[in-house]
Amino acid sequence: MTDLTPPPLLAVQNLRKYFPTQRQNPFQRNAAPHLLHAVDDVSFTLEAGESVGLVGESGCGKSTLVRLLTRLLDPTGGAIRFEGKDLAQIPARRFARHPLRSHIQLVFQDPHDSLNPRHTAFDTIAAPLCQLGGFQPSALLKARVAELAELVGLPEPLLSRFPHQLSGGQKARVGIARAIALHPKLLILDEPTSALDVSVQAVILQLLADLQARLGMSYLFVSHDLNVVRLLCDRIIVMYLGQIIEMGPTAAIFDHPRHPYTQALIAAIPDPTQPPQALQLQGEPRSPIDPAPQVCRLYGRCPQGVAQCQEAMPLLAPMGEQHWAACHFSGQSFTHSHSAG
Amino acid sequence: MIHSKKIIRTVETQTLLRVEDLALEFRTRSGTVQALDQVSFSLAMGETVGLVGESGSGKSVLALAILGILDRAAEVTKGAIALQGIDLLKIPRAELRQKRGKEMAMIFQNPRVALNPIRQVGKQLEDVLAVHQRGPKQGRRDRALALLSQVRIPDPERRYHAYPYELSGGMCQRVMIALALAANPKVLIADEPTTGLDVTTQAAVMGLIRDLGQQGEMGTILITHDLDLAAQYCDRLLVMHAGHIVEAAPTAQILRQPCHPYTTKLIAATPDPHKTLGELLPIAGHLPDLRGDLPPCRFRSRCDRPLPECDRPPLIRQTITPGHTVACHHPLTPEVQP
Ligand SMILES: Nc1ncnc2c1ncn2[C@@H]1O[C@H](COP(=O)(O)OP(=O)(O)OP(=O)(O)O)[C@@H](O)[C@H]1O
Ligand SMILES: Nc1ncnc2c1ncn2[C@@H]1O[C@H](COP(=O)(O)OP(=O)(O)OP(=O)(O)O)[C@@H](O)[C@H]1O
Ligand code: SF4
Ligand SMILES: [Mg+2]
Ligand SMILES: [Mg+2]
């Protein structure tokens, strides 16, 4: 029997990426290399037309996850199904020419790294149109590039400039124009707005919302700015040290965060009317190198942590509609957890 | 000046840095870019001053001018930059280089470019420490490790040996911050220091910078697009637009009662928990082209409340309340004291 419901746009299953780190002791050549668990057993889905926010502590593996999804890195294990086809099987080298490539586009975290210093802004935006979109150098191409520049709020005279002649915010806009040029089905944005000032950021966010409404584009939106994530995203995924520790609808995550890390994250959003809060999470994060498989990754920094937390790794458990969290205590209300225990 | 250095120092213990009527131009093939004009402000020991404004408004250029590290195309055409009473624009280059290394430090906007890609980050920290402290190598190594853990790099012993490409964007940023703090500067200029950081790490790093400042050891200039962040950590805000400081005031005051039309628009474009996407209002128009003739008020073409006198020079500066100044003929408040 065939299943008639179409597969989700993106289904990620048990995805892992381990980086070998340098051996510290040169006399132990034969010892197994230590492994940095950048992405550790991550599973989630993303439906067509949906926008999902990806948040989490700096260094928790967001950019690595994004580079796996766009096949710039080969995974250590797991599956990445795009419309049912497993991309993880395609070697990173060959993906650049794969027909699916035009459907998944990435806006890089650092526009500085991702723009070719010898290409003008025009060349950069035109490249995908020519390579994958069947455009020839023509008046039509010029018009399309000018239209894209206008959409992202990039003044047209800047199109003839090279990256070093553009400010940080202007380079970021070139990267976004290039990524939306072919109307990808899935647009992955890694910290797209951190280089933008609030005015340009408002333009870009409204553009993204508009493209989603008109073309049904889907977004995976990596950002540290939770106020921005809240505006654009239907759902939020929270990562901590390589793992997903909570995911759910945006309102649920903001109003009823269940994992202590998410709670600390929401509490740390700067509030201009309040003096800075005392830090909720004390101490050092655990090392991502060869982490103990049975210990909760937040253990040691967590305000809740008890013996159980170092004996059994908490797994994602349902908290409500579409809402999961991985904490032994997330079934309980945070403020009463100690007295209740 | 006939004062001896000593007298200047006692008079100026409060004021650490003073920028006075600074003007700066870039010569380019297509004309002269008037990047800074009539810029004046001061920074006291222990104080944090925020520099906010649109992309391209001159925030980084002002920072680089204070440190004296602009490229050759730049020329200061007017004004003074005094560090504890000594005009940095008048002292010999070698002396300036020394001051820059010892008394002023900067956290650059783009950490990956500022770090050496082929040197381990721990070694880069030791290089900076070697300039500032004599003593055994082991001491520097310990201090480097302490700095890495102060900026909350997990597992500093191992990260010490990492190359920049092995670190996440936010970790590079924190290494950059550690490098700046290693110098124990009196003036710290932080250009978007926390953009790559999540809010909990941001709070930790800003807390570190603030604590050093409050111990009275340093004055900080915080350049940021994030008004909420500025609101929390800055004592005063300077709003820049097209090379002018258009409004300056204590932080709470400027956010409660913004007077320059530009400041109000900047606030209206900022996301907050109570706004929807449709309620974010982008600022209409672009920054004016800084080449060629500019009107006295560089916001004129984008302003929705200009008066005829806005086109007549000079740029006016009015005091709203002591410590709150605005460069505008028609500010958004009735109680203006000219
Ligand atoms: N090429 C590499 N070699 C070794 N380790 C790496 C490499 N790339 C990333 N890492 C490590 O993987 C972890 C995750 O890094 P990643 O860049 O994915 O973090 P991130 O969540 O994007 O952080 P940020 O918010 O700071 O950008 C970090 O500990 C980082 O040091
Ligand atoms: N070397 C240069 N030659 C010519 N113009 C320059 C040069 N460097 C900067 N400028 C111009 O000076 C102005 C101010 O630039 P600056 O980098 O200070 O902006 P900013 O306020 O820091 O912006 P952002 O928030 O994007 O970092 C811009 O209009 C820029 O184009
Ligand atoms: S001086 Fe005039 S043109 Fe400039 S901001 Fe004020 S009212 Fe508007
Ligand atoms: Mg990243
Ligand atoms: Mg700048």
pLDDT digits (tens, 9 = 90+) for A134-147: 888 889 999 999 99
The answer, yes or no, to whether residue A334 has pLDDT greater than 80, is: no
Chain B: give the shortest CA distance to residue A136, in Å: 31
The sign one gets for the Cα dihedral B258, B260, B262, B265 is positive
Q: Give me the mean pLDDT over the B68-80 stretch.
A: 89
Higher pLDDT, A24 or B241: B241
Query: For residues A165 and A112, is the Cβ–Cβ distance under 8 A?
Result: no
- How far is residue B332 from each of residues B255, B259, B295, measured CA to CA in Å? 13, 5, 20
Strands A235-240 and A51-56: parallel
Predicted confidence (pLDDT) per residue in B260-269, tens digit: 999 999 998 8
What pLDDT is stored for residue B10 in this prediction?
38
DSSP state of B214: I
Neighbours of ion ligand 5 (CB under 5 A): B 60
Q: What percent of chain B has pLDDT over 70?
A: 93
The angle formed by the CA atoms of residues B184, B185 and B188, to the nearest 5 degrees, is 125
Phi, psi torsion values for B149, nearest 5 degrees: -80, -30
Chain B within 8 Å of A275 (Cβ-Cβ)? Answer: yes
Q: Which residue's C-alpha comes closest to atom 6 of ligand 3?
A: B328
Q: What share of chain A is helix, strand, coil (3-state, %, to 5)?
A: 35, 20, 45
Q: What percent of chain A has pLDDT over 70?
A: 90
Q: What percent of chain A has pLDDT over 90?
A: 44
Q: What is the ipTM of this complex?
A: 0.75
The answer, yes or no, to whether residue A336 has pLDDT greater than 50, is: no
Question: Please, which pLDDT band fits residue B335 given cuts at 50, 70 and 90?
Answer: low
Q: Give me the mean pLDDT over the A172-185 stretch.
A: 91
CA distance A117 to A101: 23
The answer, yes or no, to whether residue A23 has pLDDT greater than 70, is: no
Q: Give me the mean pLDDT over the B298-321 stretch.
A: 88
Give the number of other CB atoms < 10 A from CB of residue A142.
13
Question: Please, which pLDDT band fits residue B55 given cuts at 50, 70 and 90?
Answer: confident
Strands A218-222 and A186-190: parallel
Query: For residues A64 and A12, is the Cβ–Cβ distance under 8 A?
Result: no
What pLDDT is stored for residue A18 in this prediction?
95
The answer, yes or no, to whether residue B333 has pLDDT greater than 90, is: no
- Averaged pLDDT score across all residues of chain B: 85
Using alpha carbons, select from B187, B266, B188, B285 the residue that is nearest to residue B228: B266
Using alpha carbons, select from A88, A58, A178 the residue that is nearest to residue A129: A178
Predicted confidence (pLDDT) per residue in B130-169, tens digit: 877 666 777 889 989 998 988 888 788 888 998 888 887 7
Q: What percent of chain B has pLDDT over 90?
A: 36
What pLDDT is stored for residue A279 in this prediction?
64
CA distance A13 to A44: 7
Tokens of A216: 């049904």
- Within 197-226 of A, beta carbons closer than 8 Å to B belong to 197-203, 205-206, 209, 224-226
The answer, yes or no, to whether residue A22 has pLDDT greater than 80, is: no
The answer, yes or no, to whether residue A38 has pLDDT greater than 60, is: yes
Tokens of B51: 């520099």
Q: How do the domains of chain B map onto residue ranges?
A: 15-103+183-336, 110-182
Question: Please, which pLDDT band fits residue A29 given cuts at 50, 70 and 90?
Answer: low
What pLDDT is stored for residue B64 in this prediction?
92
- Within 277-306 of A, beta carbons closer than 8 Å to B belong to 277, 279-281, 284-289
Using alpha carbons, select from A170, A151, A168 the residue that is nearest to residue A159: A170
Strands A104-107 and A186-190: parallel
H-helix or E-strand spanning residue A161? none
The answer, yes or no, to whether residue B338 has pLDDT greater than 50, is: no
Question: Please, which pLDDT band fits residue A332 given cuts at 50, 70 and 90?
Answer: low
Q: Is the CB of A327 under 6 A from ligand 1?
A: no
What pLDDT is stored for residue A19 in this prediction?
92
CATH code of domain B15-103+183-336: 3.40.50.300
Higher pLDDT, A287 or B334: A287
CA distance B274 to A197: 19
Q: What is the DSSP string of A185-213?
A: SEEEEESTTTTS-HHHHHHHHHHHHHHHH
Helices (H) and strands (E) counted in chain B, each on its own, are 12, 12
Using alpha carbons, select from A159, A170, A67 the residue that is nearest to residue A112: A170
Query: For residues A97 and A112, is the Cβ–Cβ distance under 8 A?
Result: no
CA distance B66 to A44: 49
What pLDDT is stored for residue B3 in this prediction?
41
CA distance A214 to A27: 61
What pLDDT is stored for residue B7 in this prediction?
38
Point out the ligand nearest to the CA of residue B58. 2
Q: Give me the mean pLDDT over the B92-112 stretch.
A: 82
Phi, psi torsion values for B238, nearest 5 degrees: -115, 125
- How far is residue B65 from each of residues A76, A298, B62, B77, B79, measured CA to CA in Å? 48, 44, 5, 12, 11
Phi, psi torsion values for B161, nearest 5 degrees: -90, 0
Unique residue bearing structure tokens 């090279």: A162
Ligand 3 site residues (CB inside 6 A) read: B 261, 297, 299-300, 303, 305-307, 310, 328-330
The answer, yes or no, to whether residue A317 has pLDDT greater than 50, is: yes
Predicted confidence (pLDDT) per residue in A111-133, tens digit: 777 788 899 999 999 998 998 88
Q: What is the DSSP string of A228-239?
A: HHHHH-SEEEEE
Contacts of residue B153, defined as CB under 8 A and 6 or more positions apart, other chains included, come to B159, B171, B174, B175, B178
The answer, yes or no, to whether residue A49 has pLDDT greater than 50, is: yes
Give the number of other CB atoms < 10 A from CB of residue B201.
25
Chain A: give the shortest CA distance to residue B1, in Å: 40
Per DSSP (E only), the strands in B67-143 are 74-83, 86-87, 104-107
The answer, yes or no, to whether residue B6 has pLDDT greater than 50, is: no
Q: Give me the mean pLDDT over the A262-271 stretch.
A: 86
Contacts of residue A111, defined as CB under 8 A and 6 or more positions apart, other chains included, come to A163, A168, A171, A172, A174, A175, A195
CA distance A282 to A287: 15
Does B55 contact A197 at a Cβ distance shorter than 8 Å?
A: yes
Strands A218-222 and A235-240: unpaired
What pLDDT is stored for residue B314 in this prediction?
81
Helices (H) and strands (E) counted in chain A, each on its own, are 11, 12
Q: In A, which residues are within 8 Å of B146 by CB distance? A: none
What pLDDT is stored for residue B283 in this prediction?
87
The answer, yes or no, to whether residue A10 has pLDDT greater than 90, is: yes
The answer, yes or no, to whether residue A39 has pLDDT greater than 90, is: yes
The angle formed by the CA atoms of residues B290, B292 and B294, to the nearest 5 degrees, is 65
Q: Give me the mean pLDDT over the A25-39 stretch.
A: 74
CA distance A209 to A138: 30
Per DSSP (E only), the strands in chain B are 15-28, 31-44, 48-52, 74-83, 86-87, 104-107, 187-191, 219-223, 236-241, 244-250, 318-321, 324-326
Predicted confidence (pLDDT) per residue in A64-80, tens digit: 999 999 998 999 999 99
What pLDDT is stored for residue B216 in this prediction?
67
Higher pLDDT, B89 or A334: B89
The answer, yes or no, to whether residue A50 has pLDDT greater than 90, is: yes
Point out the ligand nearest to the CA of residue B167. 1
Tokens of A70: 């766009």
Q: In B, which residues are within 8 Å of A281 by CB distance? A: 200
CA distance B214 to B217: 7
Give the number of other CB atoms < 10 A from CB of residue A43.
13
Does A270 contact B226 at a Cβ distance shorter than 8 Å?
A: yes
Query: For residues A201 and A228, is the Cβ–Cβ distance under 8 A?
Result: yes
Q: Find the B60 Cα to ligand 2 centroid distance in Å.
A: 7
The answer, yes or no, to whether residue B113 has pLDDT greater than 80, is: no
Best mutation site among B29, B33, B287 for ligand 2 pocket (most ligand atoms within 8 Å of CB): B33
The answer, yes or no, to whether residue A257 has pLDDT greater than 70, is: yes
Predicted confidence (pLDDT) per residue in B157-205, tens digit: 888 998 888 887 778 888 888 888 888 889 999 998 887 778 887 887 7
Higher pLDDT, A165 or A173: A173
| Lowest-confidence region among A21-25, A43-47, B87-91, B327-331 | A21-25
CA distance A96 to A135: 18
Contacts of residue B63, defined as CB under 8 A and 6 or more positions apart, other chains included, come to B51, B106, B189, B191, B221, B223
The per-residue b/e assignment along A48-75, b for 16 or more CB within 10 angstroms, e otherwise, is eebbbbbbbbbbbbbbbbbbbbbbebeb
What pLDDT is stored for residue A177 in this prediction?
93
What pLDDT is stored for residue A234 in this prediction?
94
- Averaged pLDDT score across all residues of chain A: 85
Question: Please, which pLDDT band fits residue A333 given cuts at 50, 70 and 90?
Answer: very low
Phi, psi torsion values for A121, nearest 5 degrees: -60, -40
Higher pLDDT, A167 or B85: B85
Query: For residues B6 and B32, is the Cβ–Cβ distance under 8 A?
Result: no
- How far is residue A218 from each of residues A186, A194, A248, measured CA to CA in Å? 5, 20, 17
Let me know if A284 is exposed, middle or buried by CB neighbors in 10 A (0-12, 13-18, 19+): middle
